[in-house]
Amino acid sequence: MPELDQGANRLTFKLVYYGPAQSGKTTNLIQLHDLAVAEMKGELMTLETQHDRTLFFDLLPLGFRTSSGLTIRFRLFTVPGQTAHDGTRKAVLSRADGVVFVADSQRGQATNNGESFNNLAENLARVGLVLDRLPLVVQFNKRDLPDILAEDDIRQRYVGAPWPLLFSAAVQGSGVRETFAALLHQVWRRYAGELELSRVHGLNEDSFVAGALGVSL
Amino acid sequence: MNVEVAFDRDFVLAELITPKDANEMAAALQVMLASPIAVLDAAGRHFGGTPPTSAAQRAPLTLELEPVGFLAGDCAADRLNAAAGVFRWGLLSRARFRMTSDLHLEAVRADYAKLQQQNEALGNSEKKFRKLSETLDAKVKEQLSVIDARQRQLYQAERLASIGQLAAGVAHEINNPLGFIGSNLSSAERYVASFARLQPSVPTEVWRALDLDFVLEDFSCLLKDSRAGVDRIARIVKDLKGFSSIDQPEEQFVDLNAQLESLVSIINGQKPAEVSIETHFEPLPPLLCLPGHLNQAFLNILQNALQAVGSRWVIRILTRASAESITVHIADNGPGIPEEIRSRIFDPFFTTRRVGDGTGLGLTVAHDIVLAHSGSISVLSPTDGGATIAVEIPV
């Protein structure tokens, strides 16, 4: 559940980029830092890395103020993808309000994607979150690489799944904003009612997404 | 440090720097900027350094989106901002350190919990295997005894089959001559009657000299005895066929009372005259069984009882039916079965007789056959002496 700080009049959404090792989670945040033109945008905080691979997490803060004076803040985290860092992954995932699952489109990575998704489901259960009720979008990244699964095949595979499917080439910046926007739409639909974002704060789905991204998508 | 706090919480200034450090930093900045510098918290309250004047400028110390505090001082804004930038780097390093270490703690706890779960699972499976290895020996023995019993059944079935074949052959071979002996006897009786009618034509002295009155009378008696003998042979053949069930190798519905009757007629020929066999049969429902095998089982029990009673006593056979099963009791008034060997009498090759007198397989075979019919066999020792073998077979 998003954290509402009454004193500071601030609402915080924790959004987590999850996925197998080296699928491009950090790249998503780096690009988003450049592409998003939110009213409030912090620096991308990258914690320790080892050979360019995330050891703890990355954090990108974005935010905007509503006409009602509420500060809406999005804290975007990445998890370390390597299998060995499961404890860290679980800790980062706890208290998440939404998840982007960043899958690797390369043919050889299907197994890693599957294992990582299972790990996501497992860790969600361990931190007390329910997969069916959590805003989630699936991004197939690395569309710029040569040996990748066809879009149609992937859509075919996910035909029964309830989550929005997005395709991206994060290193080139394509699909990154669209993925984040898709998650924001999910987040709005999940929480807007409970938090009275329309009634009290004069927001609607589009202005919510536009506030976070600086553009309407 | 409180390990319960979340790594991703929002830090307040006091978590990132002590007032003493803030004072030192402010003093250093004061020298560099040549102006008193104050450190304020997010709400603008004085936290360290020289308290600001009302005209003091403020530069925010922002880690993410909103300031965690301010630098305040009466100096040019660009200078103050530059100083705040340096100050912020210090705070940011502290924040990163705190986040990393808190996250590390959470991760360690998560990993530890998982390891504990795995350890518990391993412990459980170890327990399971230990238990398994303890029972393995008993299980192997149990399986061996099952195999052993099956082998004996197989051996017995083969033996029964060959006895059956032999009996069928013998019955067939005897039946043919029996047929013509019987018919010849009838002819002979008619011929004797014809000879009797010769009397008026034979001179009396010759008739008397040859003692033909006696001859004719005795001839009739001989023929009558022979007829009785032939009938008896025919009945034995019939019983033999019935006993070995040579005509019925498959499972079928039989009246167990009738089977026991034919068994008793066979035994009657073997038993000493002093031993009497009493039967108390209640009406029984038809029983689906292998009649030849069951007969063998009851024969073995009866023979055992016969040997026990010796020559003076009584064997009783009782049958009784309930809704679920048929019970047969074979009771004798012999010396009974001593307590210490009662548990072993069904064991293979266990015998109380001298070597050569018994194989030690009789009751074992009976036991196996009853078991093969999903029944049970047990020894009862009535208070009035003797022994009773009770067989119960589900209907």
Type of residue numbered B228: A
Residue with tokens 């859509």: A155
- Taking any CB pair shorter than 8 Å as contact, residues of chain A touching chain B are 5, 8, 10, 12, 14, 40-42, 45, 47-48, 56-57, 59, 61-63, 71, 73, 75, 77, 85-88, 90-92, 94-95, 126
Q: Give residue B245's pLDDT.
A: 56
> Which residues lie below 8 Å from residue B290, measured CB to CB, with a gap of 6+?
B245, B250, B251, B372, B373
Asked if A87 lies within 8 A of B96 by C-beta distance, the reply is: no
Average pLDDT over residues B135-161: 81
CA distance A73 to A39: 10
For B108, which of A42, A87, A95 is closest by C-beta distance? A87
**H or E element at residue B164:** helix B77-196
Q: Measure CB to CB from residue B100 to each of A41, A56, A85 and give the nearest one.
A: A56
pLDDT at residue number B364: 76
DSSP A106: B
Which of B3, B65, B111 is best to mutate for the A interface (most A CBs within 10 A)?
A: B65
A50: Cα within 13 Å, side-chain hemisphere? 7
DSSP secondary structure string, A48-79?
Answer: -EETTEESS-EEEEEEEE-TTS-EEEEEEEE-
At residue B123, does pLDDT exceed 60? yes
Residue A165 dihedral angles phi and psi, to the nearest 5°: -105, 130
Residue burial A45-81, b: 16+ Cβ < 10 Å; e: rest? bbbeeeeeebbbbbbbbbbbbbeeebbbbbbbbbbbb
* pLDDT-based confidence at residue B1 (cuts at 50, 70, 90): very low
Question: Does the pLDDT at position B311 exceed 60?
Answer: yes
Residue among B62, B99, B107 minimizing CB distance to A87: B107
Residue B110 has its nearest CB partner, among A12, A47, A90, at A90
The whole-number average pLDDT for the span A107-124 is 94
- pLDDT for B60 beyond 80: yes
pLDDT of residue B310: 66
For B222-281, write each residue's pLDDT tens digit. 999 998 888 888 877 776 666 555 555 678 888 889 888 888 888 887 777 778 888 899
Closest chain B CA to residue A63: B65
Alpha-carbon distances of B195 from A84, B181, B214, rounded to whole Å: 119, 20, 13
Taking residue B312's Cβ as centre, other Cβ atoms within 10 Å add up to 10
The least confident of B39-53, B156-170, B305-319 is B156-170
Q: Using DSSP, how many helices (H) and how many strands (E) does chain A show?
A: 6, 11
Q: Is B182 exposed, middle or buried (0-12, 13-18, 19+ CB in 10 A)?
A: middle
Residue B151: closest CA among B364, B370, B375, B394: B364
* Residues B337-356: tens digit of each pLDDT: 887 777 777 776 677 766 55
Contacts of B35 (CB under 8 A, 6+ apart): B73, B74, B75
Which is nearest to B352 in space by CA: B392, B287, B302, B308?
B308
Q: How far apart are CA A63 and CA A72, in angstroms?
A: 5
Q: Which of A29-33, B73-77, B180-184, B332-336 has the lowest mean pLDDT?
A: B332-336
Q: What is the least distance, in Å, from the CA of A20 to any CA of chain B? A: 18
Please check whether residue A104 is in contact with residue A112, taking contact to mean a CB–CB distance below 8 angstroms: yes
Angle at B333 between CA B328 and CA B337, to 5 degrees: 80
Contact criterion met (CB < 8 Å) for A47 and B8 = no
pLDDT at B50 over 50: yes
**Residue found under tokens 């167990």:** B256
CA nearest A48 in B: which residue?
Answer: B100
Pairing state between β A165-167 and A136-141: parallel
Give, as one character, the DSSP assignment of residue A174: B
Residue position matching structure tokens 């011929």 = B191
As a whole number, the mean pLDDT across chain A is 91
Element (DSSP H or E) covering residue B332:
strand B325-332
Q: Which among A47, A62, A75 is the nearest to B100, CB-wise?
A: A47
Average pLDDT, chain B: 84
Predicted local confidence at residue A25, as pLDDT: 95
Please tell me the distance from the alpha carbon of residue B58 to that of residue B70, in angstroms, as a whole number.
6
pLDDT of residue B357: 55
Residues in chain A within 8 Å Cβ distance of B109: 87
Strands B57-62 and B67-73: antiparallel
Q: Are B40 and B72 in contact (CB under 8 A)?
A: yes
B297, B259 Cβ separation under 8 angstroms: no
With beta carbons less than 8 A apart as the criterion, state whether A145 and A170 touch: no
Asked whether the beta carbons of residue B100 and residue A45 sit closer than 8 angstroms, the reply is: no
Which pLDDT value is given to residue B170? 79
Tell me whether residues A95 and B108 touch, CB distance under 8 A: no
Q: How far is it, in rounded angstroms, from Cα B221 to Cα B208? A: 20
Choose among B92, B103, B110: nearest Cβ to A56. B103
| Nearest-5° Cα angle at A143, A139 to A148 | 105
What is the tens place of the pLDDT at every residue in A153-194?
Answer: 999 988 889 999 999 999 999 999 999 999 999 999 999 989
Q: Name beta bridge partners: B276.
A: B314
pLDDT at B251: 81
Q: Give first-to-last CA distance, chain B, whole Å.
A: 78
Dihedral angle of Cα B306, B307, B308, B314, to the nearest 10 degrees? 20
b/e B200-214 (16+ beta carbons within 10 angstroms → b) = eeeeeeebeeeebee
Distance from CA of A156 to the nearest CA of B (A): 35
Predicted local confidence at residue B3, as pLDDT: 44
Cα of A146 to nearest chain B Cα, Å: 37
Identify the top-confidence range among A34-38, A42-46, A186-190, B204-208: A186-190
Of A116-125, A184-193, B305-314, B369-378, the poorest mean pLDDT is in B305-314
Q: Percentage of chain B with pLDDT > 70?
A: 89
Strand partners, A14: A75
| Residue B130, φ and ψ in degrees, nearest 5 | -65, -45
**Exposure class string for A147-165: b at 16+ Cβ within 10 A, else e:** ebbeeeebeeeeeeeebbb
pLDDT tens column, B359-390? 566 777 788 788 888 888 888 877 677 888 89
Alpha-carbon span B124 to B126, nearest angstrom: 5
- Say if CB A69 and CB A106 are below 8 A apart: no
State the pLDDT at residue B353: 66
Phi, psi of A34 (to 5 degrees): -80, -35
**Beta strands of B124-275 (E only): which ranges?**
252-254
Mutation for testing the A interface, residue in B4, B5, B8, B108 having most A CBs under 10 Å: B8
Residues of chain B neighbouring A92 (CB-CB closer than 8 A): 8, 103
B348 dihedral zone (left: phi>0; alpha: psi -120 to 50; beta):
beta
A90 pLDDT above the threshold of 70: yes
Measured between beta carbons, which residues in chain B are less than 8 angstroms from residue A73? Answer: 64-65
Q: How far apart are CA A108 and CA A115, in angstroms?
A: 13
Considering only CB atoms, which chain B residues are within 8 Å of A59? 8, 64
Q: Packing angle between helix B19-33 and helix B77-196, nearest 10 degrees?
A: 140
Separation between Cα atoms, residue A1 and residue A187, nearest integer Å: 11
- Closest CA in chain A for residue B92: A45
